[in-house]
Amino acid sequence: MSKTSDNPKVSSLNDLLAVAYQIEIDAVERYNVLADQMETHNNPELVKIFRDLARAEGIHGEEIRRLAGDFDVENGARQFARFGRTDSPEEAELGSAHYLMTPWHALQLSLAGEKRALAYFTFIVETTKDPKVKAMAAELVEEEAEHVNLVNRLLHRYPPPRDSWAEDLDPPVSQE
């Protein structure tokens, strides 16, 4: 995952909006990739969860576009918002996916992403000298904190699976 030093340097309100928008768009794309994987591997419950998460992130992206007003946030994101060597904060980790994963696993991926986004915007609040950037970043911190709480609440509905969750009586490993 991105190290702080790899993150785009935000020096204006438009920079911040571009980054915030890109974070949401990246998350949408990643959740849709995961939903596609689960569709291919016949895990319909997870398909629905990842599609719902993608939809929610898409709504957040549209909210940021609205906040940006006349500023072309999509173009700004393409030009500016790039997170170092790896993923942007809310992109769920692809390497953690498994064809038998459960809703609890999906929500853990989501929770980790929301926490990374929260940490990212908190870092901007703490380091920026621009009052407009600070105010907007603080709003984004509030939103991400709400999302963390929301995912934590959802996790009450989906307790951790049994240790044998990945056990497959007809596994793909034919040699063992």
Partner 1 sequence: MSSVSTRFACKPADYKSDLKPIWCPGCGDYHVLMSFTRAFAQLGLAPEKIAVISGIGCSSRIPAYTNCYGFHGVHGRSLALAAGLKVTRPDLTVVVASGDGDGYSIGGNHFLHACRRNIDMTYVVMDNRIYGMTKGQPSPTTEPEFDTALTPGGTGVAPFHPLVVALASGANFIARCFSGEPNETADVLAEAIKHPGFSFIEILSPCVTFRPDEKEWKDQVRPAPVAATDDQGKAARRLMTDDGFNLGVLYRGNRAPFQPAVVGAGDTDLSELEKDFEL
Q: Which helix (H) or strand (E) holds 108?
A: helix 103-127
- What are the counts of helices (DSSP H) followed by strands (DSSP E) for the chain? 5, 0
Provide the minimum distance between the beta carbon of 58 and partner 1 in the complex, in angstroms, as a whole number: 14
User: Which span sits near partner 1 by CB under 8 A: 36-44, 61-69, 129-137, 148-156?
Assistant: 36-44
169 near partner 1 (CB under 8 A): no
Output the smallest distance, CB 164 to partner 1, in A: 16
Cα(156)–Cα(63) distance, rounded to whole angstroms?
A: 28
Residue in the structure block whose two tokens are 């703490």: 126
Among 57, 87, 114, 144, binds partner 1 (CB under 8 A): 87
User: Which residues, 6 or more positions from 107, have their beta carbon under 8 angstroms from its beta carbon?
Assistant: 49, 151, 154, 155, 158
Choice from 44, 66, 70, 95 touching partner 1 (CB under 8 A): 95
Residue with Cβ nearer partner 1 (170 or 176): 176
One-letter amino acid for residue 138 of the chain: A
Q: Is 135 in the site for partner 1 (CB under 8 A)?
A: no
What is the DSSP secondary structure assignment for residue 2, as one 8-state letter? Answer: -
Contacts with partner 1, residue ranges (CB under 8 A): 29, 33-34, 36-41, 78, 82-87, 94-99, 101, 172-176
